Amino acid sequence: MNQYETVFILTPVLSDVQMKETVEKFKGILTEAGAEIVNEESWGMRKLAYPIEKKSTGFYVLLEFNAEPTVVEKLEVNFRRDERVIRFLTVKQDKFAAEYAARRRNVRQSKTEEA
C-alpha cells in the first residue's frame, strides 16, 4: 500500500452541512475501496489564486490515506463526476513527504491538546 494525500476544493455556495456531506461521501468511497484514512483536515473557506468557474473562493479539504493505486483512480473519477468539486490534486508521498506529514500532524495534535 502507498501513502497518498489529496486536496480538493469545493464550491463556495455549499452550506456547512452540504460540505460535510460531500467530504463524508469521498471518505466513504476511500474506505469502501479498502483505503485507510490517516488524517483529515478542513482548511475552511479560502481565496483562490485565480477565478475558477467565476468563483474566487472555495472550501479546501485535505485527506491523507494509505491505499492501492487503483483506489486513487476510482476516487479521481468520482471527483470529476461531482459538480461540487471545482479542483483536486492527489499526490503519492515518498518517504520524506510521509515523515514531514507525520511531524505536521503531531505538531497540530499537540497544539490542540494545549488549547
Using CA atoms, how far apart are residues 101 and 23, in angstroms rounded to an integer?
20
CA 50 to CA 72: how far, in whole Å? 26
* Predicted model pTM: 0.87
Domain enclosing residue 25, as ranges = 2-114
| Residues 6+ positions from 42 with CB-CB distance below 8 Å | 23, 59, 60, 61, 62
Report how many domains make up the chain.
Answer: 1
CATH label of the domain that carries residue 47: 3.30.70.60
The pLDDT confidence band at residue 113, using thresholds 50, 70 and 90, is confident
**What sign for the dihedral angle of Cα 32, 21, 13, 59?**
negative
Per-residue pLDDT tens digits for 35-87: 999 999 999 999 999 999 999 999 999 999 999 999 999 999 999 999 999 99
CB contact at 8 A, 36 and 66 = yes
Name the pLDDT band for 115 (thresholds 50, 70, 90).
low
> Quick one: residue 44, left, alpha or beta (phi over 0 = left, psi -120 to 50 = alpha)?
left
